[in-house]
Amino acid sequence: MLVENKVHPSKEQMEGFLEAGHEGPIYMVNLLKFRQSANYEDGRDCDLSGAQAYAIYGRAVAELVRDLGGAMVFSGNVSRLMLGEVEDLWDQVAIVMYPSRAAMLDMVVSDAYRDIAVHRDAGLQGQLNIETSDAIARGFT
């Protein structure tokens, strides 16, 4: 199994996200890998770590998520791998509930999101985003 962290979705992944799919809430599992030092595209000098730059984004995006009816469900630091093998562990895991794919899309194309995304891009070395739906509400089907 190839595992490759990215900062932005590929064209094919974005097209898939825009297709009709699960109706209702989605839960985005985020496996986050931070840069050692933040690297802003505009070249600004800063002494932030990647995790610190991402934290600026995280606090602001949590408000956007709440405003659209979603919720930050879980966030925690990765301490070790219990099962399986990967070359390099992620630094944090976060789970975010969005009321729908459309709500998430509305957020990521908003001016408010674009204003804070610079901190995300500066802080992340890469990540995996895994879209899931609520199996309990669907009877585990």
pLDDT tens string 8-43: 666 776 666 666 666 789 999 999 999 999 999 998
| pLDDT for the residue numbered 139 | 58
User: Which residues lie across from 126 on neighbouring strands?
Assistant: 33
**48 part of a folded domain:** yes
pTM for this model (two decimals): 0.84
Work out how many domains the chain is built from and give that number.
Answer: 1
Q: Give the mean model confidence (pLDDT) for residues 75-94.
A: 92
- Range(s) of the domain holding residue 84: 21-132
CA distance 9 to 49: 23
**140 part of a folded domain:** no
CB of 120 closer than 8 Å to CB of 55: no
CATH of the domain at 36: 3.30.70.100
